[in-house]
Amino acid sequence: MEVHFTPEQQAQIAQVATKAGTVPEQLVTNVVVRYLDEEARFMAAVEKGLQAAARGEFIEEEEMDARLEAMFKS
């Protein structure tokens, strides 16, 4: 697989790689692997939510508001 970056992007990647103590190729690989892992977790959570919704498992709006409020206070 080949990926193309602009010269500005290449410079930025090189700078971040240097600060991280690695080479640009390894930095890009690490970033993509982390992204794919996170995307898989996100998609699994979405699927879990869709399955719960299909079973009719919902929470009331007031409960969701309380959860969000508590989350943002943390």
Instruction: Answer whether residue 55 is part of any domain.
Output: yes
The token duo for 53 is 């919704």
Q: Whats the size of the chain, residue-wise?
A: 74
Tally of domains within the chain: 1
pLDDT recorded at residue 58: 87
pLDDT recorded at residue 8: 98
Instruction: Answer whether residue 39 is part of any domain.
Output: yes
Per-residue pLDDT of the chain (74 residues; tens, 9 = 90+): 899 999 999 999 999 999 999 999 999 999 999 999 999 999 999 999 999 999 999 888 999 999 999 999 87
Instruction: Answer whether residue 2 is part of any domain.
Output: no
Q: What's the one-letter identity of residue 74?
A: S
The DSSP symbol for 63 reads H
**Cβ atoms of residues 17 and 26 within 8 Å:** yes
pLDDT recorded at residue 18: 98
Widest distance between CA atoms in the chain: 51
pLDDT recorded at residue 4: 96
Contacts of 67 (CB under 8 A, 6+ apart): 59
Instruction: Answer whether residue 69 is part of any domain.
Output: yes
Instruction: Answer whether residue 1 is part of any domain.
Output: no
For residue 52, what are the domain limits? 7-73
